[in-house]
Amino acid sequence: MHALHTSARRRTVPALIGKSILMLAIGQAGFAHATTTRSWAEVEARVSAMFDNMTLSEKINFTRVNDGHMLPVLGAQGLQGTLAYDSSMGVQVRGALFGAQYPSPSALAATWSINRARQYGLAIGYETRESGAQQMLSPGLNMYRTPYNGRSAEYLSGEDPFLGAVLGPVVTNAIQAQGIHAAAKHYVANDNEANRHLIDIKVDERTLREIYLPGFESTVKNSNPASIMCSFNKINGDYGCESHRLITEILKGEWGFRGFVMSDFNSIHNAQKGAWAGTDLDMPSGLQFTEANMYDLIYSNQVPLSVLNDKVKRNLRAMVNYDFDKGLPSPKGLDTRFGDTASLAMSREAIVLLQNDVPQGGSLPLLPLQAGARVAVIGNLALQAPASPFGTAWAPPNRYVTELNGLQQLNAAPSNVTFISALSLNPAASVWYQPASGTAGALQAGLKAEYYSNSSLSGSPSVTRIEPGVAWDFTTGVNATDSGRTSVSGFSTTAGAFSARFSGLIKPTTTGEQVFKVRADGAYKLWVNDQLVLDYDGAPVSTDVINAYAKSAKSAVLKAGQTYAVKLEYRRLSDRYFPVIGGMQGVQMSWAGLSAPADLSNYDAVVVAVGANHEHEGEGADRSFDLPEFQAELVANVAKVNPNTVVIMHGGGPSNMLPWSKKTAAVLNAWYPGQYGGQALAEILYGKVNPSGKLPVTIGRRAEDYPSYASYGKISDYVPSLTYAERASNTAKTEMTYAEGVFMGYRGFEKTGIKPLYPFGFGMSYTTYDYSDLTLSANKLSADATVNATFTVTNSGRMAGFEVAQLYVRPVSATGDRPVKELKGFAKVFLQPGESKQVTIPVDGRSLAYFTQKTVSWNVDAGKYRIQVGRSSADLPLSEVLTVTQPLKLSTTTSNPLPPAVREAVQVPATQAY
């Protein structure tokens, strides 16, 4: 969080000049959760009036929806029903992005900024309202427990509950200040995607309370979200939407949640269990809360009428509290000012500089680059529009700056920046040849394509022709490699099963291994130089949101200048694959070199864009920790030729960097950087912007190093079906134990003593920051008290920038099994060169507490606690001791994950709404 109480002074002139940016922004304005002008009593009176005039049938049907609305239509009461739009990276309207493409929430977590979280929430809430919807299905508050999670991009908690406890309510308050419902999700322990509908998460109560629930608890207590979405998975035997313990006892009971609980999409399996648990809305198909089910349950008292009435009133209250009972606003023309500004600001502060070495023979680190540097760029991710994951977060931008464009635009001469297509996989740019007729050894461009009207490549082809390449989209009938033709004359690629064979030649430009990538919605085999290198039977890796994930293989060593045969056989078996939300119905093939040409050494720097996009990461499946497409080998090969290699990482979370990290000069994690990620990245690489992102996760050296590995080491153990042949005897696991308990993320690394590649909270800068003068406002902490930790941060370098100061609490002599230390505060401070600022971060009893199941309370043992402050979890130069003289017991109802000053800071002034 930004400094709550800050004084600023030049090192030579200690004069008080004002409070923090955050407090100036808040001023004396009131705080808003919604735009209604009614008091709570007026809301309740209106709800009661409508409720008293509802029939039992109307009540039942007001807890389910199956017509595209979110809250249902209630014609007798004049309620039109609400619309909800999805995506954490932008507002999806009928499959298209309405406004800005924002950086992923995981990137937002890397900003460690209340201001950026507020700006994002206000902008995406505004665009949701302008698009004609009344609800945004955000924020995502699940945890980065494992490096595999396909939906890590969507979650803003990183691996630390306190980070989520701060950013969650900020985003929620900002969305709702625009008069839009927020929906905090997915409640709870939906921390991996593999087998997500059947997986039963076994997790003890203390771990739930300390790690996985605080983001939700804080959001409920500090932002009053309109709704909470319960999760697909089971938790300790009960589905998330059928857990009375989690929904009624904890969420609504202990925390006092006043909104409504919606199911994740069709995630109620049993009407009685879901109703009794406390789920209030069965969406989007209303499969369980039907009149046929509910009449019997109510009249048999398996679901008391009072339970149904509570659901109806909560849903009505959500309409009235936002004035939706007075009519819904009409969609408006898009105003891009707020979204564009927010997206760029987030990206600038989210990119994390992980490594910046001094080149051999040099005196300064490689970055920032000189304005006129000659730069080679490698990787299709740098050439494409900024990426997003497959599924809910899919958000293809309407306007953007690619990373290649950004580097070219900020270079003194755009011609200094060269894209190396021979090392970049791209179906539309891969070069293919055919033997030319008439002259022995002569070549012509293209692949021989044979299309069959059956799925077995049998008989004679229906159509044979030459294609420039393979990049078919069957929903549009377009081959992206062919600008002159689209559909195959006399043959339909949209009707039923069919098959195709593509054969041709390649001519490598470098001697060495070549990489081949195929992405298709069916079965295929790929031969290179008569060797079978890919054999895929087309079985999806998920059962609901089904994506055609790309697969890659590499060839043996091939010689530059020689030709080699390539053959792809494709069989379309079904139309199960999604043509939307980042999916495809079609087939693509590309190839590129893995060996770097010698002339790369002539460049001042080589920028290699690697990582994941919607072809490798997204909803419904988990991903490998290793980089796809043999990118690790590519980076190592490039760095061997030119050690001034800069690697740009992409994806919802980090990937394996160990094989090459010490061979390259610089590494940056860009996450999914949003529509202007190319501009922000170029500004950082050229030194126009000082990097300030900090890791919200730990980057391990190996997947085996993560604390979760003991219980989730192999994705394949949880994949519902690896091949069609295995479906009959599927043995996918349906139970996962969070065996590491509270020692998730950096807590676990510190317990085992395993040194990560990059620690939690780490991020480099182009300047240096010094920490000094830590003092506590009191040396002892009593019940209901807050102690302020005040210290000085000084920019001792030559460039202005943000520093994220972090505060951790460390029990000196813990009586139980507790983490070595835990994050309990942070402050993002902007400093000019030579400038110092005093920063104050509060801690209270909850900051020192651990959960005790026996007493169902947050307990603080008497004893000493070390308050540590610094740059990251591994670099904490300041330390003071705080003493608790008497044990404290804090209620789960009245205690708050955030100290009072932070609770105020996460609010959104009503005057800031657009």
Q: What's the pLDDT band for 38 if we cut at 50, 70, 90?
A: confident
**Given 271, 293, 328, which residue is the final one in a domain?**
328
What is the CATH number for 371? Answer: 3.40.50.1700
pLDDT digits (tens, 9 = 90+) for 485-505: 666 766 777 667 899 999 999
Residue 19 lies in a domain: no
* Amino acid 104: pLDDT: 98
Give the three-class secondary structure for 696: coil
- Which residues sit opposite 788 in a β-bridge? 842
Q: What is the DSSP letter of 118?
A: H
Return the closest-CA partner of residue 237 out of 856, 730, 739, 734: 734
CB-neighbour burial class of residue 157 (10 A; exposed 0-12, middle 13-18, buried 19+): buried
Whether 583 and 602 share a structural domain: no
CATH number at residue 224: 3.20.20.300
- pLDDT-derived band of residue 330, with 50, 70 and 90 as boundaries? confident
In the numeric block, which tokens belong to residue 730?
Answer: 């599927």
pLDDT tens string 170-185: 999 999 999 999 999 9
Query: Can you give the residue range of the structural domain that contains 662?
Result: 343-420+597-706
Task: Write the Ramachandran bin of 908: left for phi over 0, alpha for psi from -120 to 50, otherwise beta.
Answer: beta
* Same-domain status, 466 and 567: yes
Where does the pLDDT of residue 910 fall: very low under 50, low under 70, confident under 90, or very high at 90 and above? confident
In a domain? residue 762: no
Residue 21 has pLDDT above 70, yes or no: no
Examine the pLDDT at 607 and tell me if it is beyond 80.
Answer: yes
What is the residue-wise DSSP string for 432-478? -EEEPSSSTT-EEESEEEEEESSSS--SS-SEEEEES-EEEETTTTE
**Binning pLDDT at 50, 70 and 90, where does residue 646 land?**
very high
Please check whether residue 44 lies inside any domain of the structure.
Answer: no
Nearest to 430 by CA among 376, 469, 466: 469
Indicate whether 679 and 716 sit together in one domain: no
Query: Are 104 and 249 in the same domain?
Result: yes
Q: What is the pLDDT of residue 530?
A: 95
pLDDT for 19: 26
Model pTM?
Answer: 0.95
Instruction: Confirm whether 800 is domain-assigned.
Output: yes
Average pLDDT over residues 253-264: 98
Rounded Cα distance, 519 and 533, in Å: 14
Contact criterion met (CB below 8 Å) for 846 and 889: no
DSSP annotation string for 299-355: HTTSS-HHHHHHHHHHHHHHHHTTTGGG--PPP-----HHHHHHHHHHHHHH-EEEE
**Dihedral over alpha carbons 856, 860, 862, 864 (to 10 degrees):** 150
Angle (CA) 907-913-914 rounded to 5° is 160
Gap between the Cα atoms of 250 and 804, Å rounded: 33
By the 8 A CB rule, do 164 and 156 touch?
A: yes
Share of the chain above pLDDT 90, in %: 86
My answer on whether 113 and 168 are in the same domain is yes
Q: Are residues 142 and 189 in the same domain?
A: yes
In a domain, 212, yes or no: yes
CA 350 from centre of chain = 12
Q: Measured between alpha carbons, how far is 713 from 284 in angstroms, rounded to an integer?
A: 34
The CA distance from 377 to 682, in Å, is 12
222, 256: one domain:
yes
Identify which of 168, 295, 274, 180 has the alpha carbon closest to the alpha carbon of residue 221: 168
Compute the average pLDDT of residues 35-60: 92
Final residue of a structural domain among 571, 593, 615: 593
What pLDDT is stored for residue 506 in this prediction? Answer: 98
Give yes or no: residues 456 and 565 share one domain.
Answer: yes
Q: Does 559 lie in the same domain as 622?
A: no
Mean pLDDT over all residues of the chain? Answer: 93
Peptide bond into 186 cis (omega under 30): yes
Segment 431-476, tens digit of pLDDT = 999 998 877 778 999 999 999 999 999 999 999 999 999 999 988 8
Q: Are both 175 and 274 inside the same structural domain?
A: yes
Pairing of strands 531-536, 645-650: unpaired
Answer whether residue 759 is part of any domain.
no
What's the rounded Cα separation, in Å, for the pair 567 and 589? 10
Which domain-ending residue is among 328, 358, 384?
A: 328
Q: Does residue 18 belong to any structural domain of this protein? A: no
Question: CATH number, domain at 584?
Answer: 2.60.120.260
Residue 33 forms part of a structural domain:
no
Same domain, 820 and 787: yes
Q: Do 548 and 505 fall within a single domain?
A: yes
What domain count does the chain have?
Answer: 5
